[in-house]
Amino acid sequence: MHQAAKNGEEMSTEEIPLGIKMLTGLTKVMIRQKVTTSDNNKYVVLAPDASVVFYAKENSGILDRVLGGKSRAFEINIFDTEENEVIRLRRPFTMGLDVKMDVSVCGKAVSVVRKEVTFCKPIININDASDKPAFRVKGPMIPTNVCDFELFTTSKQRIGVISKKWSGTAREAQTSSDNYVIEFPVDLDVCFKAAVIGTCLLIVCIHLYL
């Protein structure tokens, strides 16, 4: 039902980078975030066995982070352990309520992520490269330190979740770090797995950013 990307057929004819190979076979990843307002946010994406899949770093100006806050434009570059840039997330500056993020895998545009304008629970649409609906992410009425953003197909079948995990008062106070766990089907197209990871980072920015 959720076809995984095939070597060379959907991304390129070249060898698939290590990080993408690892992501293809996973049903769960953990994202650890280093939170700061004075430097670019950094993330590490881990497999269930705690091995590193990706490293990620936000590229945005200090004024964007301090003054723009949740509305800031940014680019997040995601690298595998062999220092290949495998995923790029780009959120351009937009006016009004339009929140959009472009997702590229190995240099190819694969998804457009958009926040839906709602007055109740937050909803984020994960669209394909043509901006056509593919999946929806629904969050709680009031996002908190422990909360779930559920992943659904367009036919309303729940297939995964993005969870924020409480690290403990002492740990969060001392390290300024947050943990997120993402679950998705093993056979989900790797490009959409990348989009779900990107959606998690967008949620951090627009709903959980301090």
The model's pLDDT over 14-73, given as tens digits with 9 standing for 90+, comes to 589 999 999 999 999 999 987 655 567 899 999 999 999 999 999 866 555 554 556 678
Name the strand (E) or helix (H) holding 135: strand 133-138
- Report the alpha-carbon distance of residue 80 to residue 65 in Å, rounded: 25
Q: How much is the pTM?
A: 0.85
- Report the alpha-carbon distance of residue 163 to residue 142 in Å, rounded: 14
CB atoms within 10 A of CB 84: 15
- Which pairs from 100-104 meet CB under 8 Å and 24+ separation? 101/198, 101/199, 101/202, 103/191, 103/194, 103/195, 103/198
- Report the alpha-carbon distance of residue 126 to residue 199 in Å, rounded: 8
Q: Are 192 and 136 in contact (CB under 8 A)?
A: no
User: pLDDT tens across 81-128, in order?
Assistant: 999 999 999 998 766 677 899 999 999 999 999 999 888 889 999 999
- pLDDT at residue 64 in the model: 58
Q: Are 31 and 180 in contact (CB under 8 A)?
A: yes
User: pLDDT tens across 144-169, in order?
Assistant: 778 999 999 999 999 999 999 866 54
Going by the DSSP 8-state scheme, the letter that residue 8 receives in this structure is T
Q: Residue 78 above 70 pLDDT? A: yes
- What domains appear along the chain, each with residue ranges and CATH number? 18-206 (2.40.160.200)
